[in-house]
Amino acid sequence: MSSLFAPVCSVTRTSRGRYFWAAWWSSPPHDVPFRKPDAEGGGAATREAALAAAERRAGTPLIEIDGLWARAWKRMLRGQPPWPSQASREPRAARSGTLERHHDDASIWSVLGVSTHVTEAELKTAYRKKALETHPDRGGDALAFRRVVAAYAEARRRLRRPKRRA
């Protein structure tokens, strides 16, 4: 262990809006080969709560470092390489391999089964109904479910954007 090393913690936000942390206190993290953290945890409601949980586990104050280390460890836990390939670094819009992009208004609205003049509440109700019908855990098709989720996200974005002046 280097005499300049200080115990560190990396915190990142999860897809569910919680915080995941990974801490290294015995030696610094390495990128190649990736060094497993001394401890990790998730589910904290705030970044501060995640850092506090990591410090309790380490028994010592930790210095927060870039969240990319925690994201790399999350990828390792999923059986993926710690550092994404160049192809996966492209914006999602550029890699539309699994999902079809819906460029025209009719397609996203027809996927959800609503008109273009729908309210937020009606949109949410239609989304929930379609999501239940197409969810893979309920016997639906995974691709159809992803289309419904993508259409709902785009519809919400379009409903929330400011209206143009005539």
Average pLDDT value over all residues in the chain: 83
**Quick one: average pLDDT of 87-94?**
46
CA distance 148 to 108: 8
Please report which confidence band the pLDDT of residue 121 belongs to, taking 50, 70 and 90 as the band edges: very high
pLDDT for position 14: 87
Please report which confidence band the pLDDT of residue 139 belongs to, taking 50, 70 and 90 as the band edges: confident
pLDDT for position 2: 46
- 140-156 pLDDT, tens digit each: 888 889 899 999 999 99
> Domain coordinates of the chain in residue numbers?
8-89, 92-160
Name, in order, each residue with C-beta under 8 angstroms of 156's C-beta and a sequence gap of 6 or more: 120, 123
pLDDT for position 3: 58
Lowest mean pLDDT among 72-81, 101-110, 133-142: 101-110
Please report which confidence band the pLDDT of residue 80 belongs to, taking 50, 70 and 90 as the band edges: confident
Biggest alpha carbon–alpha carbon distance for the chain: 67
pLDDT over 60 at 1, yes or no: no
**Quick one: average pLDDT of 25-31?**
86
pTM for this prediction:
0.50
CATH code, residues 92-160: 1.10.287.110
pLDDT over 90 at 126, yes or no: yes
What letters, b where the CB count within 10 A reaches 16 and e where it falls short, cover 46-80?
eeeebbebbbebbeeebebbebebbbbbbbbeeee
Task: Give the up-direction half-sphere exposure of residue 12: CA atoms within 13 A in the CB hemisphere.
Answer: 16
The SS3 of residue 30 is coil
DSSP 8-state assignment for residue 87: G
